[in-house]
A = this chain, B = another copy of it.
């Protein structure tokens, strides 16, 4: 194929365009520069055949600049955009994309993934790979900045790189023997998070768990071990009944925990929250008193840092004053709000978190590592082992060889993958300072968005946001005959049907629906969020 001159001046020709990869060659003169561009879900590798190039790559709103010369390779992972500028008199580059770059103008018609059923018959590799591509294409585009439906959004390049290593390494974190380096990596993430919380060296401990719900389960399990250690052997028959106090805005997993752990749903006492979604501490005191009067033992108080709907933070220090005087376990569910630890702008929201006995932290939410990257953290190291270690696994845990405790002994899982690797890779890549900037940048977007909302006649805030949840009421247009309480649900459904946006809704105490915008996509900026609301306002 012949070289073709592009608008930017440099020339390009396709050497190979196969089903699964594409090789392109480019010729450059000094000063010529490609636009900032991404590659969809293709990986991009550029080999500098000749010359010197400035590569600028854009990660979560930040720029990294680096110079490459002849025989060096420039890798742009999936999820990163970049631009390339020729610094030498002439230059030649070879580009490999895998899979081939999709032409943004051609829409691939995915009518379905075909037959999902499993049967006797084998499927040839080419069909299998096509089917997997269809599975991807027909999935909800969570990588889009228009995806705000969950407490995560977007794809972080480090997460993809780490996943590939996890996948190829294929080992289990049960023993250090089977995963020497990966176990150390889990240790380091647990250590570093404990440090950010403010717990002392030697006391802080924790374990990677398969999701924030499981971290909450484990926290209540630790509380039980602390309060009624005999129950480990003898069960719950002769202890309790217990009461666990959570805000009415707390995550439903605490109820599941109560069922699974044998306390029963009735043990969960819902403490009132104020209009902003924060726990009413006066009411907490009253609830504890009532439970005591009923002869129930107070197992734990759970403070939520970052509620699912409003993003509210319960006042930890005030709650701790109560739990301390009454000797009750204090758990902080910071699955969503944990990143507040990383920025001065939100430190007040998690003030006192070091006073907690245990903390739930999800790195797959705001920080965007792989699902799941969850941690149960505690400042009671020996209790974590006491609560979870059982005998009967001599075939696996060979004490004579383990220099450090095998993580499997404190985990509820036996064989499991290196779930901590993804967050470790992200943290290593960005540094703590980079994680701080990720949060700050999103807070800036939020502030701009709030200013926009308060000026729009048909929009209003449900509560002044203290985090990255922006809950917004939307009035129906004058001509609408629909019940205005349901308008936000209608808007949300229309936006999803038209594949314009994925944003969740909830209802206030009066049953009125509102949109819950979650500002978490790594490349999100104000214009994305504003355009989404403009589309929402134009629904008729």
Contact = CB atoms under 8 A, between A and B. Distances in A.
Nearest to A504: B395
Nearest to A387: B259
A163 B155 contact: no
A46 to B, nearest CB: 8
Contacts of A43: 98
A352 to B, nearest CB: 24
Contact of A371 (B120, B162, B231, B417): B417
A63 interface: no
Nearest to A178: B140
B371 A181 contact: no
A446 to B, nearest CB: 19
A66 B19 CA distance: 16
A15 B308 CA distance: 53
Sorted nearest first, the 6 A-B pairs with minimum C-beta distance are A262-B262, A235-B264, A18-B73, A210-B210, A122-B431, A163-B167
Contacts of A212: 414-415
Interface in A117-167: 117-126, 128-129, 131-132, 135-136, 138-140, 142-143, 149-152, 155, 158-167
Q: Determine chain A's interface SS by DSSP, over half rule.
A: mixed
A531 B132 CA distance: 38
B413 A213 contact: yes
A75 B158 contact: no
Interface size class of A (residues with CB under 8 A): 35 or more
A395 B132 CA distance: 31
A242 B234 CA distance: 10
B118 A388 contact: no
Contacts of A121: 431, 433
5 contacts: A122-B431, A211-B414, A235-B241, A252-B414, A372-B413
A210 B215 CA distance: 13
Give this chain's copy count.
Answer: 2
A122 B259 contact: no
Contacts of A387: 259
Interface in A367-407: 370-372, 387-388, 390-396, 401
Interface in A29-70: 41, 43, 45, 47, 49, 57, 64, 66
Contacts of A129: 75, 161
B180 A264 contact: no
Interface stretch (A185-193, A281-289, A453-461): A185-193
Nearest to A217: B412
Contacts of A506: 394-395
A124 B181 CA distance: 21
A164 B165 CA distance: 11
A71 to B, nearest CB: 8
A16 B242 CA distance: 67
B390 A259 contact: yes
Interface stretch (A1-9, A168-176, A320-328, A473-481): A168-176
A128 B123 CA distance: 37
Contacts of A132: 161-162, 165, 425
Given A18-B47, A125-B429, A429-B128, A264 B179 contact: no
B235 A98 contact: no
A302 B212 CA distance: 29
A535 to B, nearest CB: 19
A226 interface: no
B235 A125 contact: no
A51 to B, nearest CB: 15
A434 interface: yes
A528 interface: no
Nearest to A193: B118
The listed residue with most B CB atoms (<10 A of its CB), out of A135, A143, A166, A308, is A135
A236 B266 CA distance: 12
Contacts of A259: 232, 387-388, 390
